[in-house]
Structure formats: structure tokens, C-alpha cells
Amino acid sequence: MPDSAHATSDATIALDPSRETPSGALDFTDVATRISQSATGDEVWEIMSEVCQQTGTKGACCRCFPSNASADETVFFSTTEDFSEELATALQKGPGYLDAFLNASVKSPKPFRWNDTGTILDPKSPQYASYRRDIASLGNGVVVPVFGPLFRHGYFCFHGQEGREYDDDEILMMHSISQTAYLKLLDVMYRGEEEGRALSSRELEIINLIARGQSNQTVAADLNVSINTINTYMKRIFEKLDVSDRVSAVMRAYALGYIA
């Protein structure tokens, strides 16, 4: 594991002096640079483990959903090695709509302390009841909402050591680090998938013509190929873009930068 960062003048936050940590401060510039240079998710989590060690934190996890708090399926749930198994189980035992931290993240898109969950959620909600039943007794910590492309949003959860209180400056630093780590995790996770779905030069040519309002028949005539050939290309384009109609294909192609 790489050595922990040394302090710098501008991007550094001093930690609680009563706690013994490998360094007296956390250098965001160094941490962010190393995260951005990571080639795998494991490397990202090694760095996040160092962040936890330097901030009096037991461990951290990240949970990602495909759209919002109503989603049932988790895209991924990953943690530092020393993250509490009890807390991990509590966070994963129910569907997304019962996850108090996820729902609070949607309502308050800025970091919050665990014990602030009740001020964000309806105290009579099943989400808050789930938090009180399964998580509140495990201590306190910080939840950081994080945001990604194509509505791939989620949160980082930091589990503080017993009695650990995070000040506002520390939470701001954790917010920046979490967002940096989240985008890298998404990049690593989806890189191979997106490469496998990249449109060929011919498919790019066709989707650009479709975006200009041309019919399959017109595209076939312009490219001097049969209509069956264009239909086959369109089927491949739909599969790669994970859509089922021309309008959605054009919208997704715009979002991915395929249309000039």
C-alpha cells in the first residue's frame, strides 16, 4: 500500500490531535491524484482505507443504485476491508426504498452525520424506522451523497470510531474525496462494458444520418446498400445502446457523444 500523504498548505485538514494517526493531516490533492491514477477498484479502496486510518474512521462503504431511491437493485456495494460486517448487513438487508441513508441522500444532497438522519427523513417513515432498528446502535458516522453519469448515483458511508465527532471542515474534505473516488469506481466498472458497446465507424455514420431525420430507406440509398443491411445495423445499434426504438437510440447517442 502506498505511503500516506504529507501535509500541504492549501488542501490539508488537521485531524483530531487526541487521536494517533499515521500523519497529522490529510492531503486532498495527493489523495485525489492517486485515486485518479488508479487502474482498479482495489487500488481505490486501498487509498480509501488510508483515508479512514487518518480520519479516525472504522471503515467506509459505497452503495450505488441505477436511478434513485425507488430502485430495487444495487449496481454495486463495496467496502474497505475493515468495514463492519454488521453494518454492511444492515445496509444491504432490504431493498433500496428502505435504505435510510439512500433516501436521506436524495432529500439532502450534501453530507450529513448519521444522527441527523431523523431531521432529514419523516420520523414516521419506514426508512427511519429501519435506521433506528438496525443502524443507530452501531455508532455514528458521515454519509456523503455522490453523483455519476446516467443517473448512477449513490452514497459513501463512513463509520466513525467510538466517540468520534467529525467537524464541518473534515466533512467537506470527505465529500470531495468521496466524489473523486466514486467517479473513478464507476469509470473502472463501466470502462470494459462501454468499450464493448462502442459503435463502429459505419454504425456511427448511420446513427448520425438517423439523427438528421433520415429514414432507413433514405439511409440505405445514401450509403448504396440494401434496406435489409440498414435494418441489421439498426438492430446492432439498439443492442449496443440498450434501447428499443429510434428516438431513444438518438437520445442515447447524443448523451454518449456519438452524434456530431
Three-state DSSP at 198 gives coil
> Is 12-194's fold the same as 197-255's?
no
For residue 215, give Cα distances in angstroms to 8, 207, 212.
59, 11, 9
Length of the chain: 260
Looking at domain 12-194, its CATH superfamily turns out to be Transcription factor LuxR-like, autoinducer-binding domain (3.30.450.80)
Is residue 23 scored above 60 in pLDDT? no
The pLDDT confidence band at residue 11, using thresholds 50, 70 and 90, is very low
- Secondary structure tally for the chain: helices H, strands E: 11, 7
- The correct answer on CATH 1.10.10.10 for the domain covering 197-255 is yes
Domains in the chain: boundaries: 12-194, 197-255
pTM of structure: 0.67
**Phi, psi angle pair for 163, to nearest 5°:** 80, 0
* Amino acid letter for position 74: T
Please give the Cα distance from 233 to 52 (Å, whole number). Answer: 49
95 in Cβ contact with 179 (< 8 Å): no
Q: Which of 121-160 are b and which e, b meaning 16 or more Cβ less than 10 Å from the residue's Cβ? A: beeeeebbebbeebbbeebbbbbbbbebeeebbbbbbbbb
| Percent over 90 (pLDDT), the chain | 57
- DSSP secondary structure letters along 169-191: HHHHHHHHHHHHHHHHHHHHHHH
Question: pLDDT tens-digit profile of 194-240?
Answer: 556 688 999 999 999 999 999 999 999 999 999 999 999 999 998 88
